[in-house]
Structure 1
Amino acid sequence: MTASKERHGSRIANAIIIPMFAVVLIAVAITFGLLIWSAHISDQAAEKSQRQLLNGTLQLTRDQFARQQASVLVKDPIYYITTGPIYDTAWLYHNVALWLKQRYGFSRTILLDQDRKARFVDGPNVYEKWVTRDLLDRLDPAVETVQKRYLASLKALPSGLYYFDPDYRINEHNLSETGLVSIKGNIYLFSATAITPELVKLVSQREPPAMLISFKQLNGELLAEIGRISALEGLVLDSYPAPETSGPLIDLEAPDGHSIGRIHWQAEQPGQEMQTRIAPVLTVLALALVGLSIVVMTFIRQSTRHLASSRADAVRASLHDPLSGLPNRRQFKQLLDRTMNDTQIADKGAAVLYFDLDRFKDINDTLGHAAGDHVICAIAERLQRILPENAIVARISGDEFALLLPDCPNETQAERFMRRLQDMMVQPVSFGPDEIHVTVSMGAALAPRDGLAAEDLLRKADIALYDAKSNGRNRWSFFEPSMQEHVRTKDEIARELRKAIDEDLLDVAYQPQCDSRSGRIVAIEALARWNRRNTGPVPPSSFIPVAEETGLINDLGLWILRRACQDAQCWPDLVVSVNVSPTQFKHPGFVEKVSATLEEFAFDPGRLEIEVTETVFAGRDKKALQSLRRLKDLGIKVALDDFGSGYSSLSYLRHFPFDTLKIDRDFISAMTDSPEARAIVRTIIRLGQALGMTIVAEGIEEKQQAEYLAANGCHRLQGYFLSHPLPAKDLDEFLADHEIQMEMKHQSLEVERLRSAEY
């Protein structure tokens, strides 16, 4: 009876609240929409008017240029000079080009003969070759138009002569054509006018005229005058390629239709101004209306939910996890059994998801268990918000969750939910001043494909979860039969690796590092190698992760250190670099074991360089920092490996005084094609130099990369360009050969120096 009243009260509340709130939101949206639309229409009209005004002003300016140019052309002397066999260039300069320049400011002049060839050119610099074929091609449409008009003005007479009679009633400047053109990146106004007789009206042949083309640069002064006439302030001229701008603009085109620039300006926005004045008032009214609606809605909804919450609390206490409020393991198992016993499960299908929070232990270790509990509760709350109908999610233990998706016949539908779950995790969990970022790894098994027994589905989902975590975390995997084989293979590798360490069946390869200035070998990096019985070489990318997961990395790292110290006794002048895993720093007595190894082989601590990555500092582990400082106190050098690959490497440089900085190989490989990568490499080198560190570049495969790094001050070079990793015996031969090559190079340089001194 109580549940019926609760449901009835909730329906009444929703029937009142939802329509009321919808009406309020629609009214507010329509009001603001009308305001924005009106402002937009007003601004568009103002912009259109300004554009028309500017276009008109530009046309008036062009017409004025045509009149100014025509004032010197409609004269018989220039007509006879340009139609005769000999051009008097001095006369043309003083009576045409110079006159137009001094009187009207035309800075450039071209005179074309009847065949459209440039017969006279004048510009600001007599030595400048500014008349190009491209420029003449751009002007050709305007020249052709004027010549056609001129020829149309020659009327045939019965005598066979032609009478020159242009019809100026059609167009005052019908023998001129104006426009815009780009010269050496600058935009010029030009006027192309036919040279016509003043007194003589009869000609014997119908030939095209000579043309005079005059140019005036569209500079700031002229642009300001156009702005003054058109009453537009802030006109800006851009030549192409022009930067991206906002606001109104007009494109400027050459006679051949190519865009050469644009003029843009800050348009008046009367609509925006009106919107600015009215919007605050409407906003206050809308917020008041929405606020009142929310208060009423909250009051009604709280009243209807109060009774339901009491009963829900009692049920939850017996069937759910007390911390998260989710079903516990026992309840989930019962619900899963019930679903699997459904006779229609073979047709409907179902998915069982098993997931946990990535690196949840780090949250408890660094922020405390209170933070971990807070994260569990926050994740449980988010899960409930996105849970599909009829789905069940449970907290199994710690940070592990299980979820049942009924009516899920295929992987696509399961992936849809898992993608929503990952999207939900993007928002960090707030805990006091801290923002905790959480990701999840998920494994899934499908019924009936992977079985119908609840225990089998949970086990297979757990195997799929292990696959997801092994392949990088923050992802999901579906169970496949091969995963069981993969788990078995990993266990086998771990057992054989343990045996290989105990029986000294591993090897170490050494990759040389050379000094960028002298070219001599100054250091080597020790790299683990394993030739597995029956299967052959195992790449480090396969057995190192297994060693990390199983804890073998501690013994493996110590074995590599011992072998490197033993082998390096043959190379007393070389620094030996050894990689150390973050897991090793957490192992008790790590520093003591390193110190004991150095004493055992009487190895100089100053020749040992420990390479660490920034993951050593994950979670601000103070023990790791203390271990590093103790190593430095022993005289051991510490290098920060793969610098730049993480998001906070600079902060580690502030907290710990590294001796060496190794540039991440991704930047080195990208240098050939990426200016950005080269700039980053230069910055890293300068940063390391400023901090007094030795800079090492690894992954060098090309001569150009080595030369660039050396020229920019990188101290040591490493990569296949110098040498592949070599066994100890091969390294001896390499060092001897390299020393011979360096000596020969030195002798060659000395000979060249002596020869230069003789001359």
Structure 2
Amino acid sequence: MLYWSARISDESAKHSQHMLIKGAVQLSQDYLSKQQTGVVIWEDAYHIVNAAEPDESWIYANMTHWLFQNHGFTKSVLIGRDFQVQNIYAYNHSNRWMTQDLLDDLSPAVAKVRARYITSFQRTPSGLFRYTPKNHEAQRSIAETGVVSVNGDPYLFSAAAIVPRVLSITQERVPPVTLVSLAPLRGGKLKDISEMSHLDGFVLADTQSDRSGVGQYQLRSPRGKNVGIIAWQTYLPGSQMLDRIHPFLAFAAFMIAAVVIAVTVFTRQMTKRLAKSESQAVHTARHDALSGLPNRTRFHALLNDTLEQSFEDGTNTAVVYIDLDHFKDINDTLGHSAGDKVIVAVGQRLRRVIPESGIVARISGDEFAMVIKDCKSDEWLEYILDQVQDEIGRPIMIGQRELFASLSMGTAIAPRDGNDPDELLRKADIALYDAKANGRSRRSFFEPNMEQQVQSKDKLSRELRRALNNDELDLAYQPQSDTDARQIVSVEALARWTKADGTIVSPSVFIPVAEESGLINDLGLWILNKACAKAHDWPGMVVSVNVSPNQFKHPRFVEKVLAILSANNLPPQRLEIEVTESVFAGRNDSVLKALRRLKNLGVKVALDDFGSGYSSLSYLRRFPFDTLKIDRDFVSDMNGNPEAEAILVSIIQLGKALGMTVVAEGIETVEQFRFLQAHECHRLQGYFISRPLNENDLTTFLDTFQYVGSAGFDAKTGYPPRLAKG
């Protein structure tokens, strides 16, 4: 009975250790998949890798190299929709690691990813396909993980479909581009598995050995090929116990009962130890390492359980999506260490201020989510959210420095807004977007019209992209005269969009949509190219083009501007780039470098809407602009207002003192025109001079203007009159 008990104990220990290794390997693979999520669920990545000519430098900088720098993926490969390798980035500067055998070994995992992606589309009544992942995959990547051999060395891999974050609709289902990222098992990953399992003598071997006391876990590729062996020194409590009592067996037969009890207790302790290690591993997989709060996966499971319980009880449950306002500024100015401390402090305060039955989770980055159970009314919930904002608004001490944080919150309530966890999270996110769009540091409750607005913006974005691809947009040009109104010295190019059905879309509507959807770069370059092409029709005049702050974030913006000037054979001195103060947000030195490069090449740079921001003078000190455009609000407020007139005169004198050309826009009355003329404002722009005109009307206007000379202007028609009126 003693030997039998020892053998059973050893076998149980071996089995427990084997399962522990298996679980640790699986947890490591799952973690690789989570590390990939940031680059595979991303609109920019989806559109770039699916482009006719993918931008390989962008893919390298923002996907493969980023994964290497941040998560240790030493090898990455893009597998296209036709199951062909598109790009390989191997950080040992050799592409020979991707062999046909390796690709064949990876193909079952890639095929599963492609199949799961295809089956995630459901046909809608209109005949289109809606992207509706199963098993809540919209909240995480569609990925398969495993182990393969690369040149004889075992590598962990994660193969994930590159998909957009926003719900998409398409005419036909096509396979996705798949990103396969590999990390070597030897080194850090093997050490992590060893630490999770708490086993001794942990090594990675190529072949199997039958040595006594050595546990072995066989690693197999998706094709079932042997990749390697994880071996460790087995802990055999039964054998150790027998070794200790052998000398005394003949003299201690009467101690058998006590020994059996000892074995039982010892085995139980070992089981508890293994169970504790497994519990710690499970906790790590379900919780955020920084804040200790539940992560996205755990939060989704808790939310699902809560909704089921609230449905049975007939109570209301609130789902709150939270985003820290301007958190990036903290990381940029004080470093990521300070940002991490802010995240921890915010998580602790959220946990402390909500009801005890509530749930708080960290979703990602600076995003949190809460579940508040048994909501008695909207007013009661507003009171709770007021307490949350007040608590977060208290200063956070980072060393000797006080930091102040604020939250934007979006709320959806079950069952009023639905009972499905994914649906509630989506609607809470829509409400959060509304809160941020209306000034941040506030909260919004989901309303049906918010969803309509999101869908409307998505539709408008797709229509704008189609109109841009089909060259269906137009430009209007608003003239600027000199001080004496003797000649037109410049025109400002303005985008106009009239749909095929005759509907006119205001720039104030489609420009923000272009900013949000990432179309602003293409739209801005289209406007710049067309304006430069038409500039030859009006020789001697400067053409002004507004440039969005997002355009300056493009690493090759300056080169694209120069290419457009060269293609249209336009001297740089005839182009004026108009920027607003927002282009300097975040104190990005790359923006200043781009502006200086353009200015040094001869392109004029104008500061638009001067005076509308709180730090205009600091921008004049940081960058020597060629032109200063006075915000139209100062001109519209000047009529009979001594303070407004004094400010206008001061701005004109300031611009002259700094050697800049001063432009006043928004001139609508003869009194405004004469006042600015009396104070020698260099250039004048507004409806009093002329409304924005199309190409043909502008040519007619210029011919008439040159014929009349300094006769003055008719504010109704926008054209100069035939007779001067003084």
- Correspondence for 1:712: 679
In structure 2, how many angstroms separate the alpha carbons of the residues matched to 1:420 and 1:316?
A: 30
Is the counterpart of residue 480 in structure 1 residue 432 in structure 2? no
Matched, 1:666 2:633: yes
1:511 corresponds in structure 2 to: 478
Q: In 2, distance between residues paired with 1:643 and 1:437?
A: 29
* Letter paired with 1:609: E
**Contact kept in structure 2, 1:663 and 1:684, CA below 8 Å:** yes
Out of 607, 619, 630, which is 2:597 matched to?
630
Counterpart of 1:643?
Answer: 610
Partner of 2:86: none
Structure 2 equivalent of residue 587 of structure 1: 554
Kept in 2: contact 1:355–1:400 (CA 8 A)? yes
Which structure features the higher share of helix residues? 1
Aligned partner letter, 2:327: F
Correspondent of 1:444 among 404, 407, 411: 411
Residue of structure 1 aligned with 2:520, choices 553, 557, 567: 553
In structure 2, relative to structure 1, the CA distance for the partners of 1:635 and 1:437 (3 Å cut) is farther
- How far apart are 1:701 and its partner, in Å? 1.9
Cα offset, 1:442, TM superposition: 1.9
Residue aligning to 1:374: 341
Summarize the Cα distance change of 1:493–1:708 in structure 2 as closer, same or farther, 3 Å threshold: same
Partner residue of 2:432?
465
Counterpart in the other structure of 1:499: 466
Give the structure 1 partner of residue 166 of structure 2.
Answer: none
Q: Do 1:410 and 1:446's aligned partners in 2 also have CA atoms closer than 8 Å?
A: no
Count of aligned pairs: 438
Match of 1:412 in 2: 379
The CA deviation at 1:445 is: 0.5
1:604-753 to structure 2, matched below 5 A, reads 604-672=571-639, 674-742=641-709
3-state SS of 1:619 partner: coil
Higher deviation after alignment, 638-647 or 337-346: 337-346
Instruction: Report if the CA contact (8 A) 1:639-1:661 is conserved.
Output: yes
Whole-Å separation in 2 of the counterparts to 1:521 and 1:704: 20
Q: How far is the alpha carbon of 1:328 from its aligned partner?
A: 2.9
Match of 2:323 in 1: 356
Mapping of 1:116-265 within 5 angstroms?
Answer: none
Report deviation, 1:703. 2.0
Match of 1:573 in 2: 540
Distance (whole Å) between structure 2 residues aligned to residue 732 and residue 645 of structure 1: 33
For 1:531, the equivalent position in structure 2 comes to 498
SS of aligned partner of 2:681: coil
What is the identity, as a one-letter code, of the residue corresponding to 2:649? Answer: R
The 1:568–1:348 alpha-carbon spacing in structure 2 relative to 1, beyond 3 Å, is same
Q: Per the alignment, do residues 752 and 379 of structure 1 end up closer, same or farther by CA in structure 2, a change over 3 Å counting? A: closer
Q: CA deviation at 1:674?
A: 4.0
**Deviations 1:378-411, CA, capped at 9 Å, x for gaps:** 3224434533453332211111111122232443
Offset at 1:501?
Answer: 1.7
Report the CA distance between 1:516 and its aligned residue: 2.2
SS of the counterpart of 1:441? Answer: strand
Q: Whole-Å Cα distance in 1 between the matches of residues 437 and 621 of structure 2? A: 33
Which amino acid in 2 is paired with 1:653? L
Report what 1:332 is aligned to: 299
Three-state SS of the structure 1 residue aligned to 2:693 is coil
Partner deviation per Cα, 1:652-685 (whole Å, 9 max, x = no partner): 1111101111111222222225433333222222
Instruction: Determine if contact 2:286/2:298 at 8 Å carries over to the other structure.
Output: yes
Q: 2:635–2:664: 8 Å Cα contact kept in structure 1?
A: yes
Q: Percent identity?
A: 58
What residue identity is the alignment partner of 1:499? R
The two structures, once aligned, show a CA RMSD in angstroms of: 3.1
Cα separation, partners in 2 of 1:408 and 1:595, compared to 1, 3 Å:
same
SS of alignment partner, residue 724 of structure 1: coil
1:342 is paired with a residue whose SS is: helix
Supply the AA of the counterpart residue of 1:603. L
1:615/1:704 CA distance change after superposition, 3 Å: same
Please state whether the residue corresponding to 1:709 is helix, strand or coil: helix
**C-alpha offsets along residues 402-438 of structure 1, whole Å, 9 cap, x if unaligned?**
1122232443333333344444555565656877664
Q: Kindly name which structure, 1 or 2, has the bigger radius of gyration based on alpha carbons.
A: 1
SS in 2 for 1:620: coil
Whether the aligned pair in 2 keeps the contact of 1:363 and 1:371 (CA below 8 Å) is yes
Q: Distance in 1 between matches of 2:712 and 2:295?
A: 75
Q: State the alpha-carbon separation in 2 of the partners of residues 416 and 535 from structure 1.
A: 48
Deviation at 1:541, TM superposition (A): 1.3
Tell me: CA distance 1:484–1:678, structure 2 relative to 1, closer, same or farther (3 Å): same
Query: Is the 8 Å Cα contact of residues 345 and 447 (structure 1) preserved in structure 2?
Result: no
Q: Distance in 2 between matches of 1:418 and 1:560?
A: 45
Q: Distance in 2 between matches of 1:433 and 1:726?
A: 58
Following TM superposition, by how much is the alpha carbon of 1:315 offset from its aligned partner in structure 2, in angstroms? 13
Deviation at 1:575, TM superposition (A): 1.1
Distance 1:513 1:431 in 2: 52
**CA contact 2:712–2:725 (8 Å) conserved in 1:** no
User: Deviations for 1:40-76, whole angstroms, at most 9, x for unmatched residues?
Assistant: xxxxxxxxxxxxxxxxxxxxxxxxxxxxxxxxxxxxx
Specify the code of the residue in structure 2 equivalent to 1:539: S
The AA in structure 2 aligned to 1:580 is V
In 1, Cα distance between equivalents of 2:349 and 2:384: 13
Q: How far apart, in 2, do the equivalents of 1:351 and 1:678 lie?
A: 53
Paired amino acid for 1:729: N
Q: Do the aligned partners of residues 744 and 400 (structure 1) sit closer, same or farther apart at CA in structure 2, a change above 3 Å counting?
A: closer
Task: Give the secondary structure class of the aligned counterpart of 1:525.
Answer: strand
Opposite residue 609 of structure 2, the aligned amino acid is D
SS in structure 2 of the partner of residue 494 of structure 1: helix
Write the letter of the residue equivalent to 2:530: R
Question: 1:606 Cα deviation (Å)?
Answer: 0.9
Q: Is the 8 A contact 1:662 1:695 kept in 2?
A: yes
Q: Which residue among 518, 523, 530 is the counterpart of 1:563?
A: 530
Q: Is the 8 A contact 1:351 1:445 kept in 2?
A: yes
On the 8 A contact 2:578/2:607 being kept in 1, the answer is yes
How does 1:39-58 map onto structure 2 within 5 Å? none
C-alpha displacement of 1:365: 4.8
Q: Residue type matched to 1:714 in 2?
A: C
**One-letter code of the match for 1:686?**
Q
Confirm or deny: 8 A CA contact 2:290 2:340 kept in the other structure: yes
Offset at residue 642 of structure 1 (A): 1.2
Instruction: Note closer, same or farther for the CA distance 1:318–1:665 as it changes in structure 2 (3 Å cut).
Output: same
Structure-2 change in CA distance of 1:535 and 1:405 (3 Å): farther
Partner of 2:17: none
- Give the secondary-structure state (helix, strand or coil) at the position aligned to 2:585: helix
AA partner of residue 671 (structure 2):
Q
Distance 1:555 1:601 in 2: 18
Asked if structure 2 preserves the Cα contact closer than 8 Å seen for 1:349 and 1:409, the reply is yes
Q: Would the aligned equivalents of 1:339 and 1:345 in 2 still touch at CA under 8 Å?
A: no
Mark the CA change 1:680 to 1:600 in structure 2 (over 3 Å): closer, same or farther: same
Q: Distance in 1 between matches of 2:357 and 2:657?
A: 62
> How much does 1:729 deviate?
0.8
